[in-house]
Structure 1
Amino acid sequence: MAGKRNTDEMRDRVVLGEFGVRNVHTTDFPGNYPGYEDAWDQRRFEEAFRVDIIREEEGELEFDMVGIDAAIANAFRRILLAEVPTMAVEKVFVYNNTSIVQDEILAHRLGLIPIRADPRLFEYRNQVYSKHMTWVPLGNQTDLFPDADFRPVHDDILIALLRPGQEIDVLMHCVKGIGKDHAKFSPVATASYRLLPDITLLQPIEDEAAELLQKCFSPGVIEIQNIKGKKVARVANARLDTFSREVFRHEGLKNLVRLARVRNHYIFSVESTGILPPDVLVSEAIKILMGKCQRFLNELDSVPME
């Protein structure tokens, strides 16, 4: 039983060797491995899947998503980057610009300033033809959004340096958009994921070897305990490791440590630009992914059966 348990555990690990990576599988058939009956089962997926919030600070969120395939994790990351909508400056009407900054550069800078305006209150622009030309007053927007506080997220973003007597007088129009149309609409400064590190000491490592091992990893990964007068290394927090593979440079250590990553345990880091809190961005990304899935199911239902 112990042998089978170890085999099952290794099946769930991506092992990092000195010159390559072992136990890597293709995602053409997610969750399937040679020699195992791993057909996808909804009940088993629901039992294994979970989301753990690890750290939540102003503008930043770190959470674990466990029990999914790499294709789902990457889809979620790409939606955060490119498909969660925001508001950004689209048109800049320059009435006066006597600064050293050219009009085109000024407009580009203005477009990259995050705007604190909830995009869920607005609609996307439609494609407009000549038949759609009509006069629409802008004055009633005050009545439509009485509690709105639309403004730049940050007050200290430098746009241009003005010399005495110079001025910039512009009118800006903001529209709703998504990151895959233009980077200025991306709601995150960064959205990334990595697999949970798994570090195993294959035998006791003591004294000078323990101190050398500690230096091979990121701070906090390996700690040294004093046991019966000997310095003994132990894995304190593998999550902090960045897998530099420094340990493989030392002949006396490289066969004493197994470096791996948990195959279905993803550590997500989301940093918002400040337009919306990161937890709201994650919720919006989940809604978009659910909508994509529903559209796909609807397409399948519409296919005629032969």
Structure 2
Amino acid sequence: MAPIQPSREELDRRKASHVVGINAETVTNVSSTDFPGHWPGEDNSWSLEEFRNTLKVDMHHSTRTESSFSLIGIDASVANAFRRIMIAEIPSVAIEDVFIHNNTSIIQDEVLCQRLGLVPFQGGKQGIREFLKWHKKANPEVGQPEGESDKFDYNTIILSLKIECTRNKEAEKGESDPLKAYHNAHVYAKDIQFKPFGRQEQYFSGDDAIRPTNPDILIAKLRPGQCIDIDMHAFKGVGSDHAKFSPVATASYRLLPTITITKPILGKDAEKFQRCFPHGVIKLDKVSKKEAMKKGSGYEGHEGQNKAVVLDAMKDTVSRECLRHPEFEGKVKLGRIRDHFIFSVESVGQWESEDLFLESVKVLKTKCEALKKNLSTIDR
């Protein structure tokens, strides 16, 4: 079939369909139309060159534990792949084996072990990412008994928690605050001690030593005479095996909101319209003399009055509040851009937040290379 050249009106309509419409009670344009064969006589097959020209990454802010960035020009499946990889397939270190020698606290042994397993740790980047290897679990069903013989310096981190609560002889008589009346009344993550062995001293020493990312995590409360004596083994793992190995607290994305004011919103209505959105989304400007003199602008005779202007649509949460009020009917359109994903990543501390996305790209690239290799041998 000969190629069909669509009209300018048709191209504009298709462009508008790339914005998901947010209406009072419905959502429109939820399906993509840019795949091959959708439009008769047109070839919309995927192009590497076009992908290179449209792909864009914008960093909004970045700290060690939190970052926000935009991925523009990709499909939702790819964006979701990055999110899932960050949650479940980037390795981190967490406590796996707990050996309780003595626990006289009121917390049951199994609960205490579960709390210790969820404590996030950090250490030298090179040691965790390159030196530490995966610890292969023993399988008793095939004659592989679990023991110390399968734990080495390159796959096991040894930790210990030995603490006892005693009375503070220097405390004032009648002191009711346990933190003043007793020593070690509260057990924190900072009380966990790292015990390097073998070559671990080369990779985990000084500022690179294995330690909790948040030293003030409360593990247990003790009273005089109670103690905890525990040894622990931490391994390298991924979130798909257990959530404690996930390097992120949250990794999510949302589509970029769009707010289009189709007719002027002035005076008291403009102030009410501003209150329908989170702070910083809508601002109030004065109608200029030039706008007031322009025929058909809708601002005639309103010089100096407040008008509603979109300041930063990215801060909008798409609550649809403005669509509830009859005075704004036909004056505003809400939507979300289909291929603009705003990511929010919060690291638990072992990985820097901005490194997590770069690592997810590496993991996805490895998966693609493996798939490509398998496809090349599928016909053999």
User: Normalising to structure 2: TM-score of the pair?
Assistant: 0.75
In structure 2, the CA distance between the partners of 1:303 and 1:292, relative to structure 1 (3 Å rule), is same
Question: What is the aligned partner in structure 1 of residue 45 from structure 2?
Answer: 39
**SS at 1:44's partner residue?**
helix
Does residue 84 in structure 1 map to residue 142 in structure 2? no
Partner of 1:20 in structure 2?
A: 26
* Correspondence for 1:273 among 323, 348, 370: 348
* 2:108 is equivalent to residue 102 of structure 1: yes
- Whole-Å separation in 1 of the counterparts to 2:375 and 2:261: 49
Give 1:137 shift.
6.4
* Mean Cα deviation higher: 33-42 or 53-62: 33-42
Aligned residues: percent identity? Answer: 40
CA distance in 2, matches of 1:135, 1:292: 29
Amino acid at match of 1:220: G
Which protein shows a greater Rg? 2
Q: Are residues 146 and 231 of structure 1, via their aligned partners in 2, closer, same or farther at CA, if it must alter by over 3 Å?
A: closer
Which of 140, 145, 156 does residue 203 from structure 2 map onto? Answer: 145
Aligned mate of 1:178, from 238, 244, 247: 238
Q: Are the counterparts in 2 of residues 66 and 265 from structure 1 also a CA contact under 8 Å?
A: yes
Partner of 1:244: 319
SS at 2:215's partner residue?
A: coil
Alpha-carbon distance, 1:8 to partner: 4.0
SS where residue 68 of structure 1 aligns? coil
Distance 1:44 1:137 in 2: 49
Are 1:287 and 2:347 an aligned pair? Answer: no
Provide closer, same or farther for how the CA distance between residues 201 and 163 of structure 1 changes in structure 2, counting only shifts above 3 A. same
Tell me the secondary structure at the aligned position of residue 241 of structure 2: coil
2:34 touches 2:44 (CA, 8 Å); kept in 1? no
Q: Give the CA deviation at 1:19.
A: 1.2
SS at 2:264 equivalent = coil
User: What corresponds to 1:303 in structure 2?
Assistant: 378
Aligned residue for 1:159, secondary structure, equals strand
What SS does the corresponding residue of 1:252 show, helix, strand or coil? helix
> How far apart are 1:126 and its partner, in Å?
2.0
The 2-side partners of 1:9 and 1:78 are apart by 29
Contact 2:62 2:68 in 1 (8 A): yes
Structure 1 unaligned spans of 5+? none
1:233 & 1:143 partners in 2: Cα distance? 62
Which letter does structure 2 place at the counterpart of 1:48? T
The one-letter amino acid paired with 1:190 is: T
In 2, Cα distance between equivalents of 1:7 and 1:135 = 63
Which amino acid counterpart does residue 241 of structure 2 have in structure 1?
Answer: D
What is the letter of the counterpart of residue 99 of structure 2?
F
1:136 Cα offset (Å): 6.2
Aligned residues: 303
Corresponding residue number in structure 2 for 1:122: 132
Deviation at 1:160, TM superposition (A): 0.2
Report the counterpart of residue 329 of structure 2 in structure 1: 254
Alignment equivalent of 2:263, drawn from 193, 199, 203:
203
TM-score (normalised: structure 1): 0.92
User: Secondary structure of 1:214's partner?
Assistant: helix
Shift of the 136–294 alpha-carbon distance from structure 1 to 2, 3 Å rule, reads closer
Letter of the 1:211 partner, please give it: E
Q: From the superposition, tell whether residues 254 and 178 of structure 1 become closer, same or farther in structure 2 (CA, over 3 Å).
A: farther
- Partner SS, residue 75 of structure 1: helix
Report the AA paired with residue 133 of structure 2.
Answer: E
Q: CA deviation at 1:104?
A: 0.5
Describe the SS at the equivalent of 2:351. Answer: coil
| Structure 1 equivalent of residue 286 of structure 2 | 226
Distance 1:291 1:135, change over 3 A: closer
